[in-house]
Each structure stands twice: as C-alpha cells, then as structure tokens.
Structure 1
Amino acid sequence: MRILLVEDDNMIGRAVEGSLKDSRYTVDWVRDGKTAVDTLAAQPYDAVLLDLGLPYKDGLQVLQDIRSRGLTLPVLILTARDDITSRLQGLDNGADDYIIKPFEMSEVLARIRAVMRRTGGSAVNTLDNGVLTLDPATYYAKRHDSGENVPLSNREFAILHALMLHPGTILSRSDLEDKVYAWGEEPESNAIDYLIHALRKKLGHDSIKNVRGVGWLVSKKSEN
C-alpha cells in the first residue's frame, strides 16, 4: 500500500515515514501543499496523511482540491490544530479521520487500518478471498486449507496486500511496482516476478494467478 505523507516538520516527518516503512507501507514524503497537489495529480496513492499548517498551500486547501477532483482515496489529517472549528472543517471537507499532534504512531497505524477497512467495505481486520487470509496488523498470511500462519517480507506483504485489496482484478507489473517501490527505489527488471515466485512458494502455486502478458491476480471468494 502506497501512502503520501504531507508534513513540513522534518522531525515529525522522519518519525512518521520511518514508522510507516517499518509497518510495510511504501511512503513518499512531500513538505508543502503545492507539491502534494502536483504529486497526487501524477501518481496514484492508497491514502494520504495530511498536515494542515503547510507552506504554499494550506492543508485544508489541499483536501478541497483532492475532493473537487473526484479522488476518493482516504485522507487522514495529522495536525496540531485542536480547535473544534478546524476539526469540523477538516471532516466536513472530506477527511476520513482527524488526529491531533502529538500522537502515538501505533494509534495512527490502527486508524489507517480502520479507514482502509471502511473503504473496502469490511468490518473485520483481515483480508480474505476464500483461499488466503492476510492480516495487515501482524503481516502474516494464512492458507485456509493448512491453517498455518506464514510471515512475509516487507515487499512480499506489499504485493499480496495490493492483490488482496482487489480480488479478481488483474494488476500489471507497473501497478505492483507502484505499490512496492517509493521514489528513488528502482526495481530490477525481474523483481516483481521474483517476489511473486517467493509468495507462491510460501503460500502455494494457486494462491496467485498469472495472466500471461497482462499481470497477476488473486481470485474472488465466489471463484474458489
């Protein structure tokens, strides 16, 4: 899952970026509102963590721009503005959550998972397609027929999470590279193939299907 972090405070930005990466998320970090808007126009993201007090363009203006362009991705505001007017403005303008600084990263991570569950129409913590269960809180995958919990590497988790969020949908090599690699990280030409191979070795060859020349997918529950 790829997240855009919009934060102008270097200390907070480094801490949040590090925690997100430790939690298997792919992160791009920008430090002002104008760059955030330009970045969102050029690159798809799964979620945005948005400060409000930003240079060049205020966070509320960034949020309004996101929603005015019809983008429905989750936006979580991380801000020191704790007055009720700012909270109402943020939520009424389309934010999915509003978190006051200072915060614990464990809570931010839990709120990201909760927002992603709501976005996916699920009330449970795990992703399940009838063959596999993936737990974003523990980064373990499990096959139903064996019941064994299997640990995944950061990039293995990122690929399987992207596929499990959209069961039945083919994701191309570039789609998966976007989920796994942040700015400045250049994948080798066969990196995605290697990661898919590693996942199949851990979870079974039928866990991920290849559509030759197009991409990969996991099946929907109804297809199993």
Structure 2
Amino acid sequence: MKAMILAAGKGERLRPLTLHTPKPLVRAGGVPLIEYHLRALKRAGFTDVVINHAWLGQQIEDYLGDGQRLGLNIAYSPEGEPLETGGGIFRALPLLGDEPFLVVNGDIWTDCDFAPLRAPIKGLAHLVLVDNPLHHPTGDFALVGGEVRDDASLSRLTYSGIAVLHPQLFAGCSAGAFKLAPLLRDAMGKGQVTGEHFTGRWVDVGTHERLAEVEQILAVKP
C-alpha cells in the first residue's frame, strides 16, 4: 500500500511562521511536522509515499529529497495553485496506482499507529475519527457499527485527516480544485464508507495555540 501526505496548505493561521516556511516544515519538538508522519509510516511498513505541495513546496523537496534518509521512496505532486483536498489527491492518482492508499493531512500531529490501516477495506473509503476537539465541538460524521454516516441526528465524531481511500472514489472527477468531503458524503449515502474511532493523541495543528499543545505533549512524552 502507498501513502499520501497532503502538504499543499498555506498555513495562514500560523503566520508569521509560515511566511517563509511551508506549514509541513514548521517544527514541533525540533522536528518538522511532516517528518513525524514519515517516521510513523516507515514504522508501519510503508515504503512509497507521495507528497503534494504548493506554497513554498520546493523547500519540502529540498528538505526531504527522495526520502532515502528516512528509508522511504518519496514522489512529489506539485501544484501550481492549491487544488484543495479532493483535487490534490485526484492529481496524484497516477502516482498512487489502482489500489487503496492511505492519506494523511500534513497539518496534524498524532501518535496513531498506521500499520492496522494497511488491511483491506470494504467499500470506497475507511475514515479514522477522533473525539471532537474544543474548536470543532459538533463533529463531522457519525460512526454506527463500523459504518460512517452523514447524519446530524446522531452523535458525531471529527474526521482526523487520516483515511484509506480507493481510487474509484474519484471516478467521474475532473482535474481542478475540489473538496474531498462531498465525495465522501456521496459514498456514505451508498453505504460505502467504513470507519474507526481513534482515542489516542491527535492535534489539528492549525494555530499557534495548538502548535504549543503539541510542544507540551512532546515535552512529557516518554
């Protein structure tokens, strides 16, 4: 199974850190955020990783190179302008192949073990959901018996930014900028999305306050 890290965001809420540094290279505990993902992917048995980028993306390529330093093979999917989550993944599909692949948002920090996600999926997507953080109290989707549903009448969890996706999820899509969520909701309506509830450490590193939260976790992490 291949993996893709979404690294094309501009990180405007992390300015001035991101004025001259792409968000995935912002450091926590002295290590770029994206490197935590790459190390975790290596531990989980992944060898081939695709990274998309836009804002200051050449810095990401210059820092990571071909991935050999980390024991990985890294390919890049540069975007002249951000294509949003769905469009970015769609553009990278030729690098990802015909089988399901893992996708991870580059602007989260987590101690999630990616190894179990290498298992075959049923349907078009398998989402990792987490408890609703304070900044997103209403959540995104409901998890019922292992199936993910878009039902506001049910208790909802938050999409972690970690998923296994089948390329067929993007059937009928065209090149350009578009979001991933509508594709997922359509697949949910057809009963084609499974999920799991992750209760470990997870932070959406979108602000200075949440970056500081990661720093605090790392300071006490054994």
Quick check: which one's strand share is greater? 2
Fold similarity call, TM over 0.5: no
Q: Normalized against structure 1, the TM-score is what?
A: 0.33
**If you compute each CA radius of gyration, which structure gives the higher value, 1 or 2?**
1
Q: Normalized against structure 2, the TM-score is what?
A: 0.34
Quick check: which one's helix share is greater? 1
